[in-house]
Amino acid sequence: MGREAAAWRAVADTSGAGAHPGVWELAWPTIVSNLLFSASGFIDIKIVGSLGASAVAAITTGTRIFFTAQAVLMAILAGTTALVARAWGAGHRDEAAQIAELSLWLCLVVSALLTLGGTLGADALAGLFRLEPQTVALAATFTRWLSVFYMAFAAVMALSTALRAAGDVVTPLWIGALGNVVSVFFTYSLVHGAFGLPALGVAGAAIGNGTGFVTGALLLTALWRSGRLVMGTRGARAFRWELIQRLVRIGYPAAFEQVAWQGGFVAFLWVIALYGTAPYAAYGIGVNLLSFSFVVGFGFSVAASTVVGQRLGARDPEGATRGGWRAMRLAIGVMLVFGACITAAARPLATFLIDDREVVRLTVAFIYVLGSVQALMAIEFSLAGALRGAGDTRFPFVTVLVGLFGVRFTLAALFAWRGLRVEWVFAALIADYLVKATMFTLRFRSRRWVSVIREQGVDELAV
């Protein structure tokens, strides 16, 4: 444990508190980790792009189904973040370890059920997106194969979430980096048939991604079982009903939020699909390119969750408030830079990924729209993360419902009904993010989140 303890001290807050890491110290490894993940997705699109727009649209659809399955895990992981961070901040290391282990096992059970649904229901799930028959078949193939690896993905998510909540953001970084390298190698090899492996097309992309998940899961589990992580195993003591109740009580609004989030995306994609395969593929490519900026926001979301949770656990609400606002300011600054760079290079990047003039044109239009709201997205990422770290998971759920369904989908459907060009549908995103950024800012400023977890009856730590 000496090496891990040294790593913990290395990320100690430089502001003078000394006991807990600061926002930037927590954010940068997560940002790097997710930038590498986005780079992997970028390369995947390039690899699959040579198969045509239908293959890209199929990957976009399969990935959205995968994200929906991931959303179900948020019922557990949101509670994991809030409770582990709070226990760690209060100095209750055994409590944090018990919550982490319980979270892992619950995620594995849930992901096993998701695997069953994904493999047996792949055709029905892909059909929900109302694409051309060829694209639906490819999307179903991708979904079926990727579903096989859900349990490995769940193990990585559960352990990485717990480690980040405890302040260890370095281990998930290098584990994720190695998994991405493995993923890219096998994706390329299995899509086109290289290094003696068969050419499997879209199915190869799913299997290639799955090998990355398996690599990360095996390494993290081995480190965890050997006691080389900041949190050890707790055995049978982890299975305590009061811990399950606390995880679920905090986490279920986050699960509903993620389900609503993914449902809103699906509804939005339905509208885009009315315009054909080219706009749909453009959406997938544009999101993939701008994900280099999104993951910066996600890094600050994780940092805000950890800082707020740990500060509240240490009975320091003022420090939690400062940490949330600092995460927001840093997220805005960094995402603006990333978004501006991607927007400026939109056309050459889109051309590099796919040789289709109409898809490239629409991709550039989409990037211009979404690139213009990077500051608003930064506010959503950071302050929503801060609220979740405080256990205030219900408000983000309500905000997502208002933004995605009340604003984005409603405007998109109205524009499509009026016969406007698909660029107008893309523009509905601007109003969505403006509303959500406003709601999150007002909620965090109100400071009602400080006492939410106590009001829910889950504040007392059992040691």
Q: What is the pLDDT of residues 107-126, one digit of tens each?
A: 999 999 999 999 999 989 88
**pLDDT value at 280 more than 60:** yes
**140: nearest Cα among 54, 45, 213, 40:** 54
Asked if residue 439 belongs to a domain, the reply is yes
Instruction: Classify residue 77: in a domain, yes or no.
Output: yes
The stretch 290-301 carries a mean pLDDT of 84
| Residue 98 lies in domain | 22-445
Report if residue 237 sits inside a domain: yes
| Highest mean pLDDT pick, 2-11, 204-213, 231-240 | 204-213
Which residue, 307, 310, 313, 318, is CA-closest to 22? 307
- Residues 66-95 have pLDDT tens digits of 877 777 787 678 778 878 888 887 788 888
CB 108 within 8 A of CB 114: no
Determine the pLDDT at residue 454.
57
Q: Is residue 326 part of a domain?
A: yes
Percent of the chain, pLDDT > 90?
38
Tell which wins on pLDDT, 198 or 298. 198
Residue 294 lies in a domain: yes
Q: Residue 406 carries which side chain, given as an amino acid letter?
A: G
Residue 5 has pLDDT above 60, yes or no: no
State the pLDDT at residue 3.
37
Q: Tens of pLDDT along 440-459?
A: 999 999 999 988 755 444 44
Q: What angle do CA 325, 331, 335 make, to 5 degrees?
A: 155
User: Token digits for 460?
Assistant: 């007392």
pLDDT greater than 60 at residue 104: yes
Structure tokens at 119: 């493999």
pTM: 0.69
* Residue 324 covered by a domain: yes
**pLDDT at residue 240, as a whole number:** 66
What is the rounded average pLDDT of the residues 204-227?
92
Looking at the structure of the chain, the number of domains it has is: 1
Query: Is residue 132 in a domain?
Result: yes
What is d(CA 320, CA 304) in angstroms, rounded to the nearest whole number?
9
463 occurs within a structural domain: no
Higher pLDDT, 21 or 288: 288
Closest CA to 388 of 307, 334, 286, 279: 307
